[in-house]
């Protein structure tokens, strides 16, 4: 496999907001023929609540398939960090929409060191790296409040669609299979019990030296779940054609194997269908 780097750049139609994706593009060649693989490159949408394992799963699946991995939640988090820094009122919808319009967010693949430390996408907010800074409980709560604003979502969704256009992408979030890519060839709705999801998040805080009671993390996860599921715009719901995967008792690797198997089946089906049409 040869790694090429391609830049997909999108300029927001509504204003200055732009998201730049520096994406590793992998050429897949068959061992026997040496020809570039003719397999279709899917759009894979992974949605689910906080701590269900979306990022770990999406990143691993993208790695195995040679696809681009995109963390849509990182965009809501980056914007929330800016709003917190600027002490913007989180209930002033028009001001937050303006803030989104004037913000530049970039997602890039991690360095080898960051990858070893568990980072998924590198995140840049107006050119400043905020990969770690957006991973706090305060930013998570603010992101889920910003995410209830229709105008903010419209701006970020347009960028996500532009970044994922062309397929060969695994994007994860809350509304990827329902709003961002409703025609994605494979949709996964990832679930796990709230207790297990809170424990996963709590362990991450512990590892970073942030001492939080498990009960507090569980409460915050439940609050964010409620806000994400009950908001009127693009609530967290399972798309009717999404495969429900409950990974309460599964690790990342097992879950990734299952999803890669489903992806290979879809690739085969689409390849056969394309062959019949010729």
Query: What beta strand segments (E) does the chain contain?
Result: 2-11, 18-27, 43-47, 68-71, 104-108, 122-125, 128-129, 169-173, 186-191, 243-246
**Alpha carbon distance 232, 207 (integer Å):** 35
**Interface with ligand CDP includes 238 (CB under 6 A)?**
no
Residue ranges in 76-135 that form contacts with ligand CDP under rule CB under 6 A? 76-77
Closer Cβ to ligand CDP, 187 or 224, answer by number: 224
Residue ranges in 133-162 that form contacts with ligand CDP under rule CB under 6 A? 140, 143-144, 147
Residues whose CB is less than 8 angstroms from the CB of residue 100 and which lie 6 or more positions away in sequence, other chains included = 17, 79, 151, 152, 155, 156
**Interface with ligand CDP includes 72 (CB under 6 A)?**
yes
**Alpha carbon distance 136, 216 (integer Å):** 14
Window contacting ligand CDP (CB under 6 A); options: 8-16, 28-36, 173-181, 256-264: 173-181
# residues near ligand CDP by CB under 6 A: 29
**Interface with ligand CDP includes 51 (CB under 6 A)?**
yes
Angle between helices 93-101 and 150-164 (to 10 degrees): 20
Give the largest Cα separation in the chain, rounded. Answer: 60
**Interface with ligand CDP includes 200 (CB under 6 A)?**
yes
Among 12, 21, 55, 267, the residue binding ligand CDP under the rule CB under 6 A is: 55
Among 19, 41, 43, 56, the residue binding ligand CDP under the rule CB under 6 A is: 56
**Interface with ligand CDP includes 189 (CB under 6 A)?**
no
Window contacting ligand CDP (CB under 6 A); options: 11-19, 23-31, 33-41, 245-253: 245-253
Distance (Å) of CA 189 to CA 9, 132, 247: 28, 26, 10
- Residue 21 main-chain phi, psi, to 5 deg: -110, 120
**Interface with ligand CDP includes 247 (CB under 6 A)?**
yes
Footprint of ligand CDP (CB under 6 A): 48, 50-56, 72-73, 76-77, 140, 143-144, 147, 173-176, 200, 204, 224, 228, 247, 250-252, 255
């Amino acid at each position: 496999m040869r790694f090429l780097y391609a830049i997909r750049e999108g300029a927001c139609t509504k204003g200055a907001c732009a998201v730049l994706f520096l994406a590793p593009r992998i050429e897949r060649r068959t061992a026997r023929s040496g020809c570039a693989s003719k397999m279709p490159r899917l759009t894979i949408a992974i949605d689910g609540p906080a701590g269900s394992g979306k990022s770990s799963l999406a990143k691993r699946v993208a790695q195995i398939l040679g696809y681009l991995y995109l963390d849509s939640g990182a965009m809501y988090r980056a914007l929330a960090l800016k709003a917190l820094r600027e002490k913007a009122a989180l209930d002033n919808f028009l001001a937050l929409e303006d803030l989104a319009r004037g913000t530049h967010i970039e997602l890039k693949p991690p360095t080898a060191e960051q990858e070893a430390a568990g980072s998924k996408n590198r995140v840049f907010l107006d050119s400043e790296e905020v990969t770690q800074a957006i991973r706090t409980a305060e930013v998570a709560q603010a992101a889920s409040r910003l995410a209830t604003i229709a105008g903010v979502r419209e701006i970020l969704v347009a960028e996500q669609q532009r970044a994922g256009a062309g397929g060969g992408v695994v994007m994860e979030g809350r509304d990827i299979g329902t709003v961002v890519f409703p025609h994605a060839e494979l949709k996964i709705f990832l679930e796990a019990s709230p207790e297990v999801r809170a424990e996963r998040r709590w362990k991450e805080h512990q590892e970073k030296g942030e001492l939080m009671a498990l009960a507090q993390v569980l409460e915050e996860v439940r609050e964010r779940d409620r806000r994400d599921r009950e908001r009127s715009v693009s609530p967290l719901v399972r798309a009717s054609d999404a495969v429900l995967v409950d990974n309460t008792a599964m690790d990342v690797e097992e879950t990734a194997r299952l999803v890669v198997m489903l992806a290979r089946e879809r690739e085969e089906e689409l390849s056969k269908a394309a062959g019949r049409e010729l």
